[in-house]
Amino acid sequence: MPDHHALDNPIWAALTGPLAQYAEIRGEAARFDPDISLLTALGSDAGWDDLAALIGPDTESFISGPFLDPPRGWAPLVRHPGVQLVGSGVRGEPDAEAVPLTEADNPEILDLVARTRPGPFRDRTIDLGGYLGIRDGGALVAMAGERLRVPGFTEISAVCTDPAYRGRGLAARLSLAVAAGIQARGNTPFLAALTANTGAVRLYERLGFKVRREVWFASLHTPAG
C-alpha cells in the first residue's frame, strides 16, 4: 500500500514533486503558476516570509495544510473546516457519456465554474489534466477532473453540475469515471470537501471514499508591504 504521509500536506508534496513543472518555489513556500491555480503551500511554519516574497504584497491566495497560523499583517484570514477523503475502496467506472475536455472547451468550462463555484479555478487549471464532461444538446452540463498529484495518489477536483441538472447523478458518474482513469495509472483517488457541504461529503462516502482526516482551507492576503 502507498504511504499516506504525502497527503498530510498534499499541495506542498505535489508542487515539490509530480507537479513541479507548474510550481514556483522559494525556500519553504510554493505556489502554482497563477494561471494554473491560486493554491499555495508551506513546507514548514517558518515559510510565511518566503510565501509573502513569492506572491507579492496585498495578493490573494488560497492555502490548505498543516501550517495555517500566519504572522501579523496577513489579512483577511478566512478559515473553513473540511475533510480529506481517500478512495482506496472506490470502484472506478468509465462512463460512455463522459467525454475528455480540452483547451478548446475552456470557455464552456469557465462558464460552468462561474455558475457553480466548485472552488479555486483559473484559466489554465485544465492543463492539470484528466477532465471529463457530460453534455446535453451540445452544452456542457457537468464536469470533473484532476488536480493535485502526489506519489501514489491523484486528487479528483472541480466536480460541478449545472443547477438545472442536479439530482440526476452526474457528479457521481463523473467522479467514478475520473477515479477509473486514476486507478488505471495505478494511483489511488482522493479529494477534499468543505464540512459544510454535507451533500457532497455524503455523496463521496456513498461512492466508497473514507474520511482520512480533518483539514482547513483558508483564503488570505499577503501583507500590504
Residue 219: predicted pLDDT: 93
**What mean pLDDT is predicted for residues 160-170?**
96
Residue 3: predicted pLDDT: 47
pTM exceeding 0.85: yes
**What mean pLDDT is predicted for residues 41-45?**
95
Alpha-carbon distance of 158 to 71, in angstroms, equals 31
Residues 80-119: tens digit of each pLDDT: 999 999 999 999 999 999 999 999 999 999 999 999 999 8
List Cα–Cα distances, 23 to 13, 60, 96, 103, in angstroms. 11, 17, 34, 20
Alpha-carbon distance of 29 to 224, in angstroms, equals 18
Share of the chain above pLDDT 90, in %: 90
Alpha-carbon distance of 146 to 154, in angstroms, equals 7
| DSSP single-letter state for residue 71 | P
Domain 5-82+216-221 coded CATH 3.40.630.30: yes
Report the mean per-residue pLDDT for the chain: 94
Residues 3-41: tens digit of each pLDDT: 458 999 999 999 999 999 999 999 999 999 999 999 999
**What mean pLDDT is predicted for residues 145-166?**
97
Q: Alpha-carbon torsion 196, 198, 199, 205, what sign?
A: positive
Q: Quick check: 64 and 192 in contact, CB under 8 A?
A: yes
Asked if 5-82+216-221 and 85-214 have one fold, the answer is yes
Q: Quick check: 53 and 192 in contact, CB under 8 A?
A: no
* 183-188 contacts, C-beta under 8 A, 24 or more apart: 183/90, 183/92, 184/92, 185/154, 187/149, 187/152, 187/153, 187/154, 188/2, 188/86, 188/87, 188/88, 188/152, 188/153, 188/154
Question: CATH number of the domain at 85-214, out of 3.40.50.10420, 3.30.1600.10, 3.40.140.10, 3.40.630.30?
Answer: 3.40.630.30
Helices (H), 84-135: 106-116
**What mean pLDDT is predicted for residues 67-84?**
90
Over 50: is that where the pLDDT of 1 sits? no
Domain edges within the chain: 5-82+216-221, 85-214
Over 70: is that where the pLDDT of 79 sits? yes
